[in-house]
Amino acid sequence: MAKYQLLLPKMGESVAEATVIKWNKNPGDRVDADEAVMEIATDKVDSDVPSPVAGKLIEQLYQENDVVQVGAIIAIIETDEPETATAAPEAQLAPEVETTIPSIEVPHVAESAPVEESQTDFKEYTPFNEVRYDAPAPVIENQEVTEHQPDIATPVDIPGIAQLEPQAPSPYDQNFKGEGRFYSPLVRNIASQENISIDELDRIPGTGSEGRLTKDDLLSYIQYKNSPAAQKAEAPVQSFAPAESNTHSIVQPVAEAPETTVEPPNAVLPEESTISQPDTLNDVVTAEEPVAASPAPEPVKEPEVTAPPKAEPLAERVNASEPKVEAAQAKPTPSLSSVSGADEIIEMDRMRRLIADHMVMSKQTSPHVTSFVEADVTGLVLWREKVKGSFEKRENEKITFTPIFIEAVVKAIKDFPMINVTVNGTQIIKKAAINISMATALPSGNLIVPVIKKADELNLLGITKAVNDLANRARTGKLLPDDVRDGTFTITNVGSFGNVMGTPIINQPQVAILAVGTIKKKPAVIETPQGDVIAIRHMMFLSLSYDHRVVDGALGGSFVRRVADYLEKWDANRDI
């Protein structure tokens, strides 16, 4: 039986990796030729991976939610065909290689006299190795600790430390260690840009499959790491470093007298208090020098020790500041329920996150400008009502307004080709093909944008069939990666939801997008040879958003006006 290595196919020029969503076949299952083995997801579209051969799936090399590079082996399929002829000579050569290996061995060398001398020399140097590596280590450490031990304060003896330590609890367990975890190329790239080592990555808990670290986990950790709350969590431990004698002299008044307060770093006095508080414990010793110099074993009885006016006890101030710290830390920490329990927190799915990132990137990249035009499409509406019945009987397909809008856009692009461009730095790339992207709403509430390739080479019938085919496959999840690539201009039909007009966001790297509003009957002024009259007409708005880096108002306004002209001058006697 021959074994076939199933590779992750190439899914476009800009697609370098994909995520395994689901395995349709398990090891041991029979696989037919062109049958889908697994479902994958890219930043463009979800797709199936079919098997080009028939056989039995014997091994899955990746699990669900794993990120796989294009061209990598994802599964092994055992086919019914015999092994190729090239495999037989390799199998025959294998025993020959095994037989030659023993002939290379030299068993007598180990028994020779020089070797015994070498072993003896090695044993003589063994004590030296032990002294070299083991003995100095504890001696040096003990000396360093002994020299610096008097300068290090013991924070355990300072009252209030037990209350200050939980002031800023970290959501990341320092004892966590995820050694041997897989990190996707995206996670590694973000970690490299943020100067985060692999050892630090191993200490970040993950929420992915089997504890895998996701992009959101890493971004939340970076946000927490750079937040003021994370810096405050470390400040109390690092700032309390007074001399040992001063520590004991000032600890007793604070511990015994509730009125006496010592201001820790990061603790905030009430707004009405005008007393300036020191930043560190060393400053406290300087400010309250008489207390530190008091020789009494029980300073609580000393009348000189008094509390600052309007100062609250240390425990109350620490407890009062804790909700603020928790609120600051709650932002980067993902939660599945609200504090009150009344609100529902819904995590974005993968496609919604991609849409969100793409929309934000577009607004940050292109300065958006939107122009509006109102069009009288009465003739177009009447023509469609006349031909839609016969067209559906003949072609077994419905004709909607979308292919009509696409045809008008294609004609306008031919008149204004600088709308059909992309931007690469300081370069404007004028596209030769006119590929129309059409935004399609999915049953899940998400959005996908399939592309009609070379729409300028299709007539109205061809555009209609392409629109219906792509829309149906988009709603059933049957789109291929190539179906969402290489668009040069986008149309979105906001009128299908009853909207009059919209200000759409440009679909990068394109430079313009057209929104078509709903068609409504309105009273309008019509110019006739006999004079102006008011009549009920079918009216609609066209909204064009364009990239002001390369499309000025004259070009954008003229283009959308030209589209409206083609729709208004529709031939009522046209055949399809």
161: Cα within 13 Å, side-chain hemisphere: 18
In one letter, which amino acid is 179? E
The tokens 């899955």 sit on which residue? Answer: 60
Residue 551 neighbours by CB distance under 10 Å: 24
SS3 553: helix
Question: DSSP of 419-469, one letter per residue?
Answer: GSEEEETTEEEE-SS--EEE-EE-TTS-EE--EETTGGG--HHHHHHHHHH
How many angstroms separate the CA atoms of 346 and 327, rounded?
A: 20
Task: Read off φ and ψ for residue 424, nearest 5 degrees.
Answer: -125, 90
Cα–Cα–Cα angle for 221, 225, 227, rounded to 5 degrees: 115
Fill in the DSSP letter of residue 37.
E
How many angstroms separate the CA atoms of 418 and 425, rounded?
A: 17
SS3 447: strand
Asked about 548 being catalytic, the answer comes back as yes
| Both tokens assigned to 247 | 């520590």
447 and 438 in contact (C-beta within 8 Å)? no
How many angstroms separate the CA atoms of 307 and 312, rounded?
A: 9
443 and 456 in contact (C-beta within 8 Å)? no
229 and 168 in contact (C-beta within 8 Å)? yes
SS3 190: helix
How many angstroms separate the CA atoms of 278 and 212, rounded?
A: 45
- Annotated catalytic residue, options 34, 80, 349, 552: 552
List, in sequence order, every beta strand (DSSP E) within 99-201: none
- Annotated catalytic residue, options 283, 456, 548, 565: 548
Q: Is 395 left (phi over 0), alpha (psi -120 to 50) or beta?
A: alpha
Asked about 46 being catalytic, the answer comes back as no
| Both tokens assigned to 441 | 């709403």
Closest to 172 (Cα-Cα) out of 217, 238, 231, 237: 217
How many angstroms separate the CA atoms of 424 and 236, rounded?
A: 50
How many angstroms separate the CA atoms of 238 and 230, rounded?
A: 13
How many angstroms separate the CA atoms of 279 and 267, rounded?
A: 9
How many angstroms separate the CA atoms of 281 and 265, rounded?
A: 8
The catalytic residue positions are: 548, 552
